[in-house]
Chain A
Amino acid sequence: MDGREGGRGGRDGDSGRVPYQAVRPGAGTGRGELRGSGRGVLGLLGPNGSGKTTTVRILATLLSPDGGRARVAGLDVVRQAAAVRRVIGLSGQYAAVDPYLTGRENLRMCGRLGGLSRAAARRRADELLDRFGLGDGAGRQARTYSGGMRRRLDVAASVVTRPAVLFLDEPTTGLDPRGRLELWQLLGELTAQGAGLLLTTQYTEEADRLADDVVVIDHGRVVAAGTPAELKAQVGADRLEVQARPGDDPGRLADALAPLGSGPPAVDAAAGRVVLPVGDGPAVLADVAARLAANGLKIADLALRRPTLDDVFLALTSQAEGTPS
């Protein structure tokens, strides 16, 4: 996908404009190539309402962009929508399986709609049930499934016809840690076999773990793009985390330590925590102790760590409550 201008988010509140020219993940000319790097997973990271779902809906031909162009696997999503639908799989924000059909029936239905013969659809359904760990539930109606099983069935339904490009919109939202790990493993297997994945998530850990490339969007605009390592390097420096003692004002800690930072401190008043980017972490520790002593401040805890995608996310996306997006 590439293009100019962007797409207005339909009627679901994501009305920001998505400038695809900045997304440019390599147009998926070959299987498993959503980007030039040739490794399969593009993570679309952004806060609620940032336009992730809108972007996926446009790329999956569900929503018309109000401008610009987008291509999936080299096909224009507007002018060649029917062809796009033959090469994509979509797993939307909510597990979309028919609750009154069994797992096997759901997969057979999707196989048939995707153009498989009756026999091929049956074989493929059984193969996927086995591979997605749904063998026990194959003959049970999906409404009896746990959330994790339902989501695995949903993803299985999206890959029945072996799509070249798979869209997953917040696939692990609502899953417990075990369900999340299981799904991550399955997605890893899919990409190992060459599927190109576009994954939206608001979990930075998920993007870090699964995505080869990450695009951070906010208010419908791309604010950063690169590999997870590049993005972390972009926010730079080590992070100094200082925890105030219960009842103390973390703002005073921030004021006292700010001169040591390579950027402004972030204060989490509720948690009583200050996070400060520092150029050379270990070297600055002595100065930290000196400044705390000079200001008569005591602290509960102190830690020094490498930046995470969380820091990228927080540094690049606005967190203002109630901002229309």
Chain B
Amino acid sequence: MIFHSLDFAIFFVVLVAAYWALPRRGQNILLLAGSYVFYGWVHPWFLVLIAVTTLVDYGAALGMDLRPARRKTFLWLALAINLGLLGFFKYFNFFADNVAAALAMAGWQTPKPALDVALPVGISFYTFQALGYVIDVYWQRVPARRSLLDVGAFIAFFPNLLAGPIMRATTLLPQVEGDRRFSAAAARDATLLLAWGFFKKLVIADNVGVIANKVFALQSPEFFVLWAGVFAFGIQIYADFSAYADIARGVAKWLGIDLIKNFDHPYFAKGPTEFWRRWNISLSTWFRDYVFLPVAYRLSDRMTSDRRLLFDAATWAYVGGMIITMLTAGLWHGASWNFVIWGGYHGVLLALARIVGITRRRRRRARRWLSPLQIAGMFLLTNLGWLFFRETDLAQLVRHLGLSPFQSTVLGRHAGAYLFFLALLYSVPLWIQSLWAEFGGRDLVAAMAGEEERPVAWAMAVQALLAGLLFAGILVLRSTTSLDFIYFRF
């Protein structure tokens, strides 16, 4: 089921109404059942996969608790089954193609075994959410849960099931287990989040997505047209993905559950490290905690001398850990080499940021005048990354990188400028929200929603006006081309 459908609207209204009429246990039964209906709506066989994941991770965590001596065995078992399922359904064709290509280069022609099944949408997200629980139990950050119902509702929680944010057991499980009370203030905030999320998706992401799709459908776009398309894609992916996160948060809030904020105006980051603190926060912190830190510690332990070449062991461990982590994160996004390149590119940026940061650490001063330049520079670097992310054909990618602005025709320059300004125009509300947050200090929607005990009349009026304007904007300006959420593919 997708959020922007009549099916979901009916499902949501019925579920919320029934949910608040039930006691906690009944709410969790409804959450689990509702999440399974939501997930299996189009392809019921997807439910088998999520059920297997749930049973394996519930059992492995419980096993660690009951048989502490076999903790590692249970961890490896859970890792093998979770990553095995993910690898099989997401990466089988990719690896089979590459093995066949490698064998063909060696002169062996082999038939390519192709797996003709749909990629189970959301599998990357719920697998990581479930794995996080098992690893946390292994590290004894959280106790293993006895209730299969609670663990099942945690793993399959429908608002964030398909495209995140990936929630941690430490944050979401206690909310699933605890008593929840309906809060009109939370519902009000949730309504604003939903309105803003749907506006971002249907008006901004889908309209600029059409521009990006048109440009990337061209065989040989000129320099300015291509980069206007990349710019449009940069807006599309941010608006689209953050829209999903806002809608997920809004839906969860209506159910009395808080999901974490997954984006913090990433295009105002001043460097790669800050960008990843602001972009897909739940995924980047997941990779930081469960991949980067273990890998970096392991690398650091293996380094015998304190200093190698130019830098100390800790820096080399950071660089090695970061490159490995970002390559893995790239591959997580999709079974294609361009995602690996994108991940590697960001790994190099993060490593360079660390190295440059070390050499400049002592000289660093607060230079406010540099901030706009740093933001602009990081925005350009991010967009270069989006070219790697969006262009799945490597030959085309090489061609794009070889384009020169000086070989553009007059029409190419004008068309590029037109597409750039059109994408900018559609995304004005997004930039206003980010600018407000950066310079006003608070998120615009959050500021409007407020948490005050006594909402004042003017704030209520502004909230109502804002919600109504967003809905009017959706009615009038929504794209006639409805695109899927981009992260459904990952």
Q: Do A and B interact with each other, yes or no?
A: no
Partner-B contacts on A (CB < 8 A):
none
Partner-A contacts on B (CB < 8 A):
none
